[in-house]
Amino acid sequence: MIKPKVTIFSGYGLNCEEETKAAFEFAGAEAHIRHINDIIATPSVLKESQVLAFPGGFSYGDDTGSGKAYGNRVKEHLSEELDAFLQRDTLAIGICNGFQILTSAGLLPGALIANDSARFICRWVDLKVEGHSPWLRGIESLSLPIAHGEGKYYADQKTLAQLKKDDAVALRYERGPMSEHFDLPGNPNGALENIAGVTAYDGRVLGLMPHPERAIRFTQLPQWTCEKERYLRDGAPVPEEGPGIALFRNAVDYFA
């Protein structure tokens, strides 16, 4: 099987590119980290890619708002090239700060604003999968970690209505095993209608606040030691993978 080529954006404060690269490679892709300046200088690399990834971090220090400066740079310098990329049968993902970048660049609807708590939140959340996206094929629910200060999804009523019409709400926060185990609210940030992720381009572009690349191995789960003992006592094999790997494997399988 030919491995799909993934271009992972980096630079100016994005700091999750290595974990994202590891996740794609663990799933069977060929991934390359490229500084945005290099992509602007040589945009032909996008023609050679099947997947684009905008990872998490704090681009430009979030000084003008999370993802805004990086999103503007993408929009001003790569709009035509990204449009051409997305006209092909390709995939793109924005994770946390990457989601904020994609909304700021106009590639995804809505915006991410300050959490209702006005505080940075780092915890695990439970997610219900909705809509139709190659990234989420075969997944009904999953738990992933979050780490953000501006993760509240916001959109006006017209945009929310269009999202529902297009079946473009991808993920919603819900109270599930992680929330119940740690006695936390299902919605961590006040996101409108519990929205944790949305799609565009017929589901091929996914933006989500949770970090799937931080949950690709079983040992990344916060309660893995307890779960390991339960598996051993039940005589069952201890899993090696975490829930997040499913998204990356779906991306690889899409091009199989």
Annotated catalytic residue, options 17, 130, 148, 211? 211
Annotated catalytic residue, options 17, 96, 130, 150? 96
Question: For this structure, is 211 an active site residue?
Answer: yes
Residue whose token pair is 């381009």: 201
Annotated catalytic residue, options 17, 130, 150, 213? 213
d(CA 126, CA 138) in angstroms, rounded, equals 17
Question: For this structure, is 213 an active site residue?
Answer: yes
d(CA 24, CA 32) in angstroms, rounded, equals 10
Contact 170, 136 (CB under 8 A): yes
CA distances, 133 to each of 16, 188, 225 (Å): 23, 24, 33
Contact 24, 51 (CB under 8 A): yes
Q: What is the DSSP letter of 160?
A: H
The residue type of 187 is N
Q: Any idea which residues carry the catalytic annotation?
A: 96, 211, 213
